[in-house]
Structure 1
């Protein structure tokens, strides 16, 4: 499956494109919808735990975090589970 989307955490001036040979999950819903999270090197337990990601565009503004959890039916996607300060 070809991944299309901007990689979460890409800095301005970087391409933001996925890197061949890396593993990604797609972020679905919430303020980071459509971005890809690089999980290269993560353990299966880490991947199963989801991710709490810093975002300036969530409910709590700059420095807030968005909670993404694995989609229940699998498929390499994390779904938005809400925001936290």
Structure 2
């Protein structure tokens, strides 16, 4: 991934199309900021996720990881903030990739 790709991803919500006219966060939604790995800088919409699910993190399908077509694994920041409500409520850190 080059610098242009990185800039394209920043501020976008994971799962929104790259050609979406408004790929950024939506008012009233809750997000986890993805830190590190191939999805660094994206926001993951966790609106409505139960607390237990947030604590488990996420395995996100991506073509950008170590295994194209595989998943990049993200887990919550240890001891990190879990501010409830809209906006960015927590950070998920990259912890590996899987086929």
**Normalised by the size of structure 1, how large is the TM-score?**
0.90
Instruction: Render the CA deviation track for 1:24-80: whole Å, top value 9, x for unaligned.
Output: 00000000000000000100011111000001010001x110000000021300000
1:17 matched to which residue of 2? 24
> Is 1:50 paired with 2:64?
no
User: How many residues get paired?
Assistant: 81
Structure 1 residue ranges (4+ consecutive) displaced by more than 3 angstroms after TM superposition? none
Correspondence 1:45-84 to 2 at 5 A: 45-61=52-68, 63-75=69-81, 76-84=90-98
- What is the SS of the residue equivalent to 1:47? helix
Q: Out of 6-15 and 65-74, give the one that drifted further.
A: 6-15
Whose Rg is larger? Answer: 2
> Is 1:39 paired with 2:46?
yes
Larger RCO: Structure 1 or Structure 2 (Cα < 8 Å, ≥ 6 residues apart)?
2
**Normalised by the size of structure 2, how large is the TM-score?**
0.78
Structure 2 residue runs without a partner (length 5+): 1-9, 82-89
Structure 1 residue runs without a partner (length 5+): none
2:86 matched to which residue of 1? none
RMSD of Structure 2 on Structure 1 (CA): 1.1
